[in-house]
């Protein structure tokens, strides 16, 4: 059995009601649910939320909401691992013993069925603990500077950019994993994880109003050019 778990709490501060705010005409969470459905990877698609409105919308979109998340893992301090451990424990206590689970973020409008399928294939064939999306930084991180203008490490000042090691960052879309890896809180960032590399044009973290506007523009451009679709 393969289970998708979509964390979607109701108390977003920087963008109120972010998980169900309309993004190009649909609740933001719809993109994650639809990608999971279209991928054909999952026996169950479960939304973990503390919010009844989010639960109702998720069910209308075809996801399951078999429980409401406890308040102690629904505040600003709750981690993704807290939510995943709770959801996996609930599944196992109700006879849903998954071979692999996938944490899918509710604010990932660029997620595709194909990338979810790639992640599952790697989990099955190469025995990783996790598989998740990542992309390159647009600028060498070794040349990062502080607010004061100083470099974090001025030893890299005279090194040509093409000679610096390429660096990647988490794309914040989804994390395939073995249930025991989540429950034991094994770090996602290790050599026991597989990176599903994405172009930067389909990666945008959405934590602020500026991020939201950027994502809307990116989505419109990609759709209008026909280069990408869900």
Q: What would the two tokens of residue 222 be?
A: 């990609």
Listed residue (215, 177, 212, 182) closest to 193, CA to CA: 177
Tell me how far CA of residue 97 lies from CA of 83, 89, 157, 180, in angstroms: 17, 10, 52, 11
pLDDT given for residue 47 in this prediction = 98
Tell me the pLDDT tens digit for each residue of 141-160: 999 999 999 999 999 888 98
What CATH code would you report for 2-133+169-225?
3.90.550.10
Q: What would the two tokens of residue 117 be?
A: 């399928």
Cβ atoms of 33 and 61 closer than 8 Å: yes
Q: Which residues pair with 219 in a beta bridge?
A: none
Cβ atoms of 47 and 8 closer than 8 Å: yes
pLDDT given for residue 228 in this prediction = 56
Lowest mean pLDDT among 25-29, 160-164, 186-190: 160-164
Mean pLDDT of 33-55: 97
pTM: 0.93
Tell me the pLDDT tens digit for each residue of 56-114: 999 999 999 999 999 899 888 889 999 999 999 999 999 999 999 999 999 999 999 99
pLDDT given for residue 229 in this prediction = 53
Residue 230's pLDDT band, with cuts at 50, 70 and 90, is: very low
**pLDDT exceeding 70 applies to what percent of the chain?**
98
Q: Is 43 helix (H, G, I), strand (E, B) or coil?
A: coil
Mean pLDDT of 11-16: 84
Burial 209-227 (b: 16+ CB within 10 A, else e): eeebeebeebbeeeeeeee
Residue 226's pLDDT band, with cuts at 50, 70 and 90, is: low
Question: What residues does each domain of the chain span?
Answer: 2-133+169-225
Burial 5-44 (b: 16+ CB within 10 A, else e): bbbbbbebeebeebbbeebeeebbbbbbbbbbbebebbeb
**pLDDT exceeding 90 applies to what percent of the chain?**
85
Cβ atoms of 164 and 142 closer than 8 Å: yes
């Amino acid at each position: 059995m393969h289970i998708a778990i979509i964390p979607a709490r109701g108390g977003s501060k920087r963008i109120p009601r972010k998980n169900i705010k309309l993004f190009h005409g649909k609740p933001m969470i719809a993109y994650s649910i639809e990608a999971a459905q279209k991928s054909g990877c999952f026996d169950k698609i479960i939304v973990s939320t503390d919010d009844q409105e989010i639960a109702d919308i998720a069910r209308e979109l075809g996801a399951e909401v078999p429980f409401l998340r406890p308040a102690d893992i629904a505040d600003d301090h709750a981690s993704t691992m807290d939510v995943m451990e709770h959801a996996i424990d609930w599944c196992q206590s109700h006879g849903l013993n998954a071979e692999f689970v996938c944490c899918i973020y509710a604010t990932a409008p660029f997620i595709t069925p194909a990338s979810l399928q790639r992640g599952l294939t790697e989990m099955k064939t190469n025995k990783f603990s996790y598989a998740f999306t990542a992309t390159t930084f647009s600028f060498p991180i070794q040349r990062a500077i502080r607010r004061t203008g100083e470099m974090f490490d001025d030893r890299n000042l005279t090194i040509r950019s093409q000679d610096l090691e390429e660096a990647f960052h988490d794309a914040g879309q989804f994390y395939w994993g073995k249930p025991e890896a989540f429950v034991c809180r094994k770090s996602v960032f290790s050599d026991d994880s597989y990176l599903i590399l994405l172009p930067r044009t389909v990666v945008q973290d959405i934590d602020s109003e500026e991020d939201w506007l950027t994502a809307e523009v990116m989505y419109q451009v990609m759709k209008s050019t026909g280069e990408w679709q869900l």
